[in-house]
Structure 1
């Protein structure tokens, strides 16, 4: 039996306390995912803790340090199923140092307004990430509604 690949991702928000925008990243490779949007992150290396892997990946891919918030709950303890061989755990995060730039694996980063749910959902997401996007938006809806209230 093939060992499961653990992937980690970050739902990077402009603020963990009062989120109004989400940072999304457009893939350049592999070919079947090029041009599709995703949560930045990557594979956990052997012997590496998931949170440490996420911090490493965000430094390598975006050039930023983040503060991690809560993990987005998935149905399985290993996270959201990406395919038969891989699953992804996703954390809320906020940039605390640096300005995000597409350094590896991406050609564009974009801040999207959480108040415009349809605009977020209409992005061409990697198919396996789409249920995670929906769960994220559901988890943030009370906070986003509060942020819109004058």
Structure 2
């Protein structure tokens, strides 16, 4: 299981640009990582956010559905999160960080596994849902 944090503050969500491996460098994702044996999903997210961004977070509700990762061996599960203690994210493991409003979500190239989460995130950022096929 891979978990991600959709860290929301002031109507914006934190997006992180990958620095490695080369085939995905420069693509954007939600911070997070693998759940270690014996670790809960929320504990993994708290740990990953501390390691990747030097922030403390409070984990909220799930965002979107489970997404099968490209290699097919893992599933991505994303949770809403918020910063606590006045911490400000630092790009310790990423090439760049950006706070994106609902109308800015499409201005970055998301990793494929994060795309369905971006769509599910729009309502949480206060944006009207775009009509889709069958609407």
Question: Same fold, TM exceeding 0.5?
Answer: yes
**Structure-2 residue corresponding to 1:108:** 96
**Structure-2 residue corresponding to 1:14:** 9
**Structure-1 residue corresponding to 2:124:** 140
Unaligned regions of 5+ residues in structure 2, if any? 129-135
CA contact (8 A) 2:3 2:34 kept: yes
Write the distance in 1 (CA, Å) between the matches of 2:23 and 2:46.
26
Structure 1 residue 72 corresponds to structure 2 residue 63 = yes
Structure 1 residue 130 corresponds to structure 2 residue 130 = no
Q: 1:73 offset after TM fit, Å?
A: 3.6
CA contact (8 A) 2:64 2:121 kept: no
Q: 1:80 offset after TM fit, Å?
A: 1.5
What is the TM-score normalised by the length of structure 2?
A: 0.86
CA contact (8 A) 1:121 1:134 kept: no
| Runs of 4+ displaced beyond 2 Å | none
Unaligned regions of 5+ residues in structure 1, if any? 1-5
SS of the equivalent of 1:33 reads coil
Write the distance in 2 (CA, Å) between the matches of 1:34 and 1:110.
15
**Structure-1 residue corresponding to 2:17:** 26
RMSD: 1.6
**Structure-2 residue corresponding to 1:53:** 44
C-alpha spacing 1:124/1:145, structure 2 compared with 1 (3 Å)? closer
CA contact (8 A) 2:2 2:33 kept: yes
What is the TM-score normalised by the length of structure 1?
A: 0.78
